[in-house]
Structures are given as C-alpha cells and as structure tokens.
Amino acid sequence: MDTLIVNIIIFLISALSTIIFGTYLAKYGDVIASITGLGRLFVGSILVALATSLPELSANISAVLLSPPNPSLALGNVIGANMTNMIMFAIIALIFGGKTVLDQISNSQWYLASLAFVMTFATLILGIINISFSVFNVGLSSLIILLLYLAGLRVIYSTKTEEKETNDEPVTISAKTAWSYFGLISLGVIISGYFLAFSVDNIAEISGIASSTLGIIAVSLVTTMPEASAYFASVKMKAADLGVAGLLGSCVFNISIIFYADIFYKGNLMSQFENAHIAAGIFTSVMILLAMFIILFKDKLEKLIINSLLFGLIVLYALGIFFVTS
C-alpha cells in the first residue's frame, strides 16, 4: 500500500480516537467537578480545559520528539487550536441562537478571554522578536509564557465575581470510578496524540505541504474537537457557561503548552516561528479580541449586532486560513 495512504489512514484513526477520548474526558471531568461541588466557570476553565487540551499537549510533545523533531508542527497546532476554538465559539453559538447562548454566560468570562488574548498576542510578539537566550535548555520566551499563564490565572481567580452555579445532572458513579475512567481515557488521548503527530509529520514530508500549515489547519481542527463537543453539549443542556469557559480556558492552556513542549525539544522552540505562524497569530489575536468584546458588551448590544459579530469571527477565520496558505 502507498506510504501516503497508510499515513492518511493512521491520521484518520488517531483523529477519530482523539475526538472520542477528548469528549469522554470532558464528560468525566464534569462528573468529577459535580462530585467536588466546584462552579462551572472554575470547572470549565481549569478541569475541562485541561482535559480537552490533552490532545494538543500530547501531539505537541510528540511532534518535538519525532526524529527529526518537527517544531513547526507543534507551534502551528498551538496557534491553530486557539484560532479553531474561536470559530467553534461562533458557529455553535449561532446554531443555538447567538445572543440566546451568550445570555447564559457570566460576566466573569471576560477576564478569561482577556488572558487568552494577552497570552496569544505575547506569543506572537515573542515569536517575532526571537529571543535566543535559554535557561536549563528551555527558551526564555517559553519561560515568559509559563509565568504569564500562572500570573494570569492567579489574577483572574482573585478578582472574578462569585457566580451561583448549579449542576442539576444526577451523579450515578462514585468519585473513584470517575477518576479511574478519567485516567484511562487520558492515557488514550496521549497515545492517539502521538500517532496524530507522527502521521502528520510523514504526510508533510511525503506531500511537500509545510508542517506549520498542517499544524494550523488539520491537526488543530482535530485536537479542538473535544472542546467543541463539550461546548456543544453544554449549550444543549443550557449550561453554556461551562462550555465557553472550557473553550477560553483551553486557549489559555494551549499557549502554555509551548513551555512543556520546549522542555522536550533540543533547542529553542520559539525560535522556530515561521511566517505562517505569524499570520495565524495575528488573526487568532484579533479573533480572541473580538470574542472578548462580544462577551463584555453582550448585555448592551442587540441580537442582530451580536450575531453579526459572531459571523465576523467566521470571516476572520477564513481570511486567516487564506493568508496562512498563501
């Protein structure tokens, strides 16, 4: 069988596995959250975001561990995942009525959106500046990104308003069972993420398509499916706050993945920024900024304007893909 076809089959199988595993991670993460009594904003932005971002983490670390390493794929996946999260935010909201969905979102989401913007934009600037200095084989830029992540979360959860959040879904399994499923599915995500990165690396080499482009478009689309699935499900059960927090929290955590991937990369990961990464970074930053504006002024704008702005996110994504592939 042709090598390209084999790798495409591996990609499709690992992609489907990633989506399924990631979806169940969100499910059991929510069960664990219900058992612990944590609020939807906290659960979505920390537990669900971390759970559904495991595909990105696994794929990115796997990409830099390939022989030879593929840092372009890792960086492309991180930025592309945030870009994809924003179009999912718009599409699913529009499917369920646009402003109707946003009315379920707490004002505290604005703080999370602002952190997602700051981290994405900072990554863009650091990638353009290209700081060559490293500390213990980890780039200074990656360390700055991690510090922004930790400081940002601390600020958000020390200043956010308290939300009265409830979960009416009955919990029918024990905490021990939920944690066991969560751990096993996490292992499945890590394994499928490895084969995802492996197959895309081979497809890029065989087809001649740039790894950065594949990372921004193909891999990011697959690895963000768990976030989209969790968001879709939360909107259906009228708990959009949980899903949006998962999307925004994922955007924040995705950027921090650069630090973790850099630990395994023999070199300075952020020095591998390409023009495609810069183009994607610009459009992703603008998209998150627009989403932040929508969330901040959702109570003051009419439905038609809100829905038009959500559609604007879709247009920005299309333009971003055009410039990335040009």
**The pLDDT of residue 164:** 43
CA distance 230 to 100: 18
Asked if residue 162 has pLDDT above 50, the reply is: no
pLDDT tens-digit map of 172-217: 777 788 888 888 888 887 788 778 777 877 887 788 877 778 778 8
Asked whether residue 316 is domain-assigned, the answer is yes
pLDDT tens-digit map of 227-280: 787 788 778 878 788 788 889 989 999 999 999 999 999 889 999 999 999 999
Total Cβ atoms within 10 A of residue 158: 7
Asked whether residue 166 is domain-assigned, the answer is no
CA distance 258 to 309: 30
Which comes out higher in pLDDT, residue 237 or 117? Answer: 117
Query: What are the structure tokens assigned to 110, written together?
Result: 């604005």
Q: What are phi and psi of 298, to 5 degrees?
A: -60, -30
pLDDT category of residue 44 using cuts at 50, 70 and 90: low
Asked whether residue 168 is domain-assigned, the answer is no
Residue type, 79: I
Asked if residue 322 has pLDDT above 90, the reply is: yes
| Region 54-66 average pLDDT | 84
Domain that holds residue 20: 3-161+173-325
Q: Among 217, 243, 274, 249, which Cα is nearest to 102's? A: 243
Asked whether residue 167 is domain-assigned, the answer is no
Query: What are the structure tokens assigned to 133, written together?
Result: 């200095």
Asked whether residue 97 is domain-assigned, the answer is yes
pLDDT category of residue 40 using cuts at 50, 70 and 90: low
Q: Among 144, 149, 167, which Cα is nearest to 44's? A: 167
Q: Give percent above pLDDT 70 in the chain.
A: 93
Asked whether residue 224 is domain-assigned, the answer is yes
Q: What is the mean pLDDT of the chain?
A: 84
pLDDT category of residue 171 using cuts at 50, 70 and 90: low
Asked whether residue 301 is domain-assigned, the answer is yes
**The pLDDT of residue 175:** 77
The alpha-helical segments, DSSP class H, found in 37-53 are 40-42, 49-52
- What is the pTM for the complete model shown? 0.83
Contacts 24+ apart (CB under 8 A), 61-65: 61/193, 61/260, 61/261, 61/264, 62/193, 62/194, 62/196, 62/197, 62/198, 63/197, 63/201, 63/215, 63/261, 64/261, 64/262, 64/264, 64/265, 64/269, 65/264
DSSP assignment of 234-300, as one string? Answer: HHHTT-HHHHHHHHHHHHHHHHHHHHHHHHHSSS-GGGG--HHHHHHHHHHHHHHHHHHHHHHTTTT
Asked if residue 167 has pLDDT above 60, the reply is: no
Which comes out higher in pLDDT, residue 107 or 112? Answer: 112
pLDDT category of residue 4 using cuts at 50, 70 and 90: confident
Asked whether residue 248 is domain-assigned, the answer is yes
Place of tokens 């990656």: 142
**The pLDDT of residue 233:** 78
Overall domain count for the chain: 1
**The pLDDT of residue 166:** 47
Residue pair 126/144 in contact by the 8 Å Cβ criterion? yes
Torsion of CA 235, 150, 23, 284, to 10 degrees: 70
**The pLDDT of residue 285:** 97
* CATH for 149: 1.20.1420.30
The β-bridge partners of 134 are: 139
Alpha carbon of 63 to those of 59, 219, 248, 265, 273: distances in Å? 6, 11, 24, 9, 15
Peptide bond into 170 cis (omega under 30): no
